[in-house]
Structure 1
């Protein structure tokens, strides 16, 4: 199966040599989907008769060029290698759909050296992706190189080529009983950690080797090493380690590393605990022990108040009663405030995207999406009522403490609080797992974790948070 070296998730700043055109014109929504495309690891192997029959048939129906040349035994071995490449490619394509994060797009390296020592060799993958493209089994978005000198035209960072399964490929797979929903039962996936533990996105550029970036790398590596010493058990959830992601690095020369900074668990698929709901996360066990999840209530709003030198009232719910007494009223008010933080300015209208996003959130919380009607909640009324409760929100989008701040600034402060808490707990031998604005710890360490999180929040902001604890026996 080749050497033990794995094709880890490397930076997205190199591209196929044959694709020299700059990035094609695409919409903002298409760009967001392409940016979220997972890297093809091409290490999935068949774990069912259906998978073996599927890859064998596809390999024969869409053969590699010059496949008929050479001696019989060599042709047979080559066909097996090619079928393995086809299977690994198809498995990654279906898994990208199953993950439901990139509209099915998959990121693929077209650098030959990236396949040295890998389960799937370059010539086999190259043949498979060309055969599939010509047959209409995949659509692709060509990659492009970044600039190599400042005077060169084009973007500073390149993009890997993206591929996505077409309806024809999905139909061929379904005919063998292999679908995105069951691909992980049909194929065995070997999950890998990214080689870069500190990543830059929005835009996605290669992480520079600076002193500050290295300090962050060491910190994340220490957290990963420490947690690996503990046993996490759950029927479907897996955790290999965390990657810290920063945003808005438009100028690496002046970037201050203070935008974003959350820890993201890998693998980034359906096995990721951060993608599951709270009840499912509380089914996890750390070293055989029940866990609890400590949530920072109204995290962004509390940090925003602190920037304005105010303490948010922790004795009352920050969202209840703004619009009315019902849970739907509360959810609308909460969404408007947090979406305004994400928007950079206070929201003034229900766009299609906001409406769709909110209805999806309602569904995840067990509230019928059809219960919400934009006409019953005009933005003008929401804004008026929200400002009556939280008049400081009128300052959002304006200068605060000398500069205009945005969502990435809020996220950075929050991430610093969470990570400082994890580091403090690690020093006391306590493992923890972040979920952005909450922290999961062994149930026996609840009091210690609550005290530590509260202390770190106050140390970073000057105010105290409202913390709520969810326990398995609450569900």
Structure 2
């Protein structure tokens, strides 16, 4: 049985080893250009996984060997990336000693602990391309709808879907007008392709591979466009303290955020205004109330929330203590008590993602550069007050709309 690590990366095809580097390394040429593009992307992905996750156990990339997995995937990944080409490229890499592979048994993806086949770079692959510059390919689609299994699904084209796709395209055109300069010094490690940054909160290191363009992908969940929908960009993998050391268009960055956003939205959906600190219970530290409430809003049940907290590396508390905090935040927030442990976070994400788009539209109109980080925005320090004003206006408008909707349904 394969012991699949949670650190396994999903296979993507944004980077590729230039063709001339393959030939120089003695990898056989092929007349199939699409297959060649697929294998160059797979080798690059394996190298980047090793760059971002140092250590012998951290290089794995999960991928599927089921034909069904690739049905409709070309819309999201591009023409070269079919079942036949991906599996053949991995097999060739293994035969050449460039990849190591572990295959999952058929049906393992349906198990309680789902498993997929996986591969990683060998030392020979890393030695061959350690200092090679990789080419970058933009995503063919910047709006993704994932099913319950995490696999992208293809929805019928509708006016609403086309409108959202055009919206993300416009956002990316706007984001590319910003220049993001990463920090240096203590807390940073800059590699050939990858940047590692230390978290001030945990002391751990996170890694990302900066992309040559600032752009986001909007990801919906559960096969629906009313679930999730947040915008994801590569800079979001940097710890908050490190993001503050970066610059946008030469200016140091501030990152205003929406305070207690999901509780605020849920109170509004119940027809009330949040007028207190939802995380302050008076019995437990505020940071524990905040983490417990936010995790519970995203959990399907309170038992799932308790388990998530106990296994969270930053929690470190007993199960009895955990249940005490959960009950305390429920008591503190009686208006939304039924929403706690009821899988409401994904609905709130659909709302906050629309708010983020509205904030960026306002910033674009005002000529202000920002980069989204879910419910906060990286912005030039000189523009903080303008960005916060846009955020306050959009939050007030959203809360009023949700409260009005609740009031109208109660008539």
Which of 261, 271, 279 is matched with 1:319 structurally? 279
Contact 1:227–1:431 (8 Å) recurs in 2: yes
Cα deviation, residue 42, structure 1: 6.0
Structure 1 residue 129: deviation in Å? 2.5
Match of 1:262 among 209, 227, 230: 230
Match of 2:47 among 94, 119, 130: 94
Q: Equivalent residue of 2:61, what SS?
A: coil
- Residue equivalent to 2:133: 188
* 1:180-226 per-position Cα deviation (integer Å, ceiling 9, x unaligned): xxx8x633222332211211013420243210011111111111112
Q: In the alignment, which residue of structure 2 is the partner of 1:164?
A: 119
Counterpart pick for 1:442 among 364, 374, 380: 380
Where does residue 377 of structure 1 map in the other structure? 321
Q: Please name the residue that 1:389 is paired with.
A: 332
* Structure 2 residue matching 1:230: 3-state secondary structure: coil
Alpha-carbon spacing, 1:117–1:374, altered in 2? closer, same or farther (3 Å) = closer
Please name the residue that 1:43 is paired with: 16
Q: CA separation of 1:209/1:37 partners in 2, compared to 1, >3 Å: closer, same or farther? A: same
Give the superposition deviation at 1:425. 1.4
Note if 1:137 corresponds to 2:105: no
User: Structure 1 residues 450 and 128, CA, compared in 2 at 3 Å: closer, same or farther?
Assistant: closer
Q: What TM-score, normalized by structure 1, do the two folds share? A: 0.61
Could you give the per-residue CA deviations for residues 120-145 of structure 1, whole angstroms, max 9, x where no partner exists?
Answer: 9x99977643234567822346999x
Asked if residue 278 in structure 1 is aligned to residue 240 in structure 2, the reply is yes
Contact 1:425 1:432 in 2 (8 A): yes
Rate the CA distance shift 1:125–1:209 in 2: closer, same or farther, 3 A.
closer
TM-superposed CA distance for 1:341, in Å, is 0.8
Q: 1: distance between equivalents of 2:36 and 2:227? A: 44
Counterpart residue number, 1:343: 299
- 1:329-356 CA-partner distances (Å, limit 9, x unpaired): 33322222111111133347742x5433
Instruction: Indicate if the aligned counterparts of 1:340 and 1:347 stay in contact, CA closer than 8 A.
Output: no
Which one of the candidate residues 208, 213, 216 is aligned to 1:242? 216
> Counterparts of 2:36 and 2:43 in 1: how far apart (Å)?
10
SS in 2 for 1:439: strand
Mapped to 2, the partners of 1:321 and 1:394 lie a distance apart of: 14
Distance 1:307 1:42, change over 3 A: closer
Tell me how far 1:260 sits from its aligned partner: 0.9
Q: Which residue of 2 aligns with 1:148?
A: none
**Do the aligned residues in 1 keep the contact of 2:181 with 2:248 (CA within 8 Å)?**
yes
- Any gaps of 5 or more consecutive residues in structure 2? 111-115, 184-194, 196-209, 403-411
Question: For residues 336 and 263 of structure 1, what CA distance do their matches in structure 2 show?
Answer: 24
- Per-residue deviation at 1:452? 0.7
Note the C-alpha offset of 1:388.
Answer: 2.9
Decide whether the 8 Å contact of 1:198 with 1:207 is kept in 2.
Answer: no
How far is 1:441 from its partner?
Answer: 1.6
SS across alignment from 2:144: strand
- CA spacing shift, 1:33–1:435, aligned 2, 3 Å: same
Q: CA RMSD in A?
A: 4.5
Structure 1 residues 123 and 263 mapped into 2: Cα distance closer, same or farther (>3 Å)?
closer
CA pair 143-186 structure 1, distance change in 2 beyond 3 A: farther
Once the two structures are superposed, residues 391-439 of structure 1 have per-residue CA deviations (whole angstroms, 9 ceiling, x without a partner) of: 22422169xxxxx872221111111111111111111111211111111
2:233 aligned with 1:288, yes or no?
no
1:143-162 matches, within 5 Å, as none
Q: Distance in 1 between matches of 2:86 and 2:304?
A: 49
Give 1:313 deviation, angstroms. Answer: 2.4
Aligned to 1:222: 170
C-alpha change, 1:99 and 1:411, in structure 2 (3 Å) is: farther
Query: Could you report, residue by residue, the CA deviation over 1:55-90 in whole angstroms, capped at 9, with x for unpaired residues?
Result: 54xx4xxxx7xxxxxxxxxxxx669x9999877533
Structure index of larger Rg: 1
Tell me how far apart the structure 1 counterparts of residues 320 and 23 of structure 2 sit (CA, whole Å): 54
Taking the TM superposition and a 5 Å limit, the aligned residue runs for 1:19-30 are none
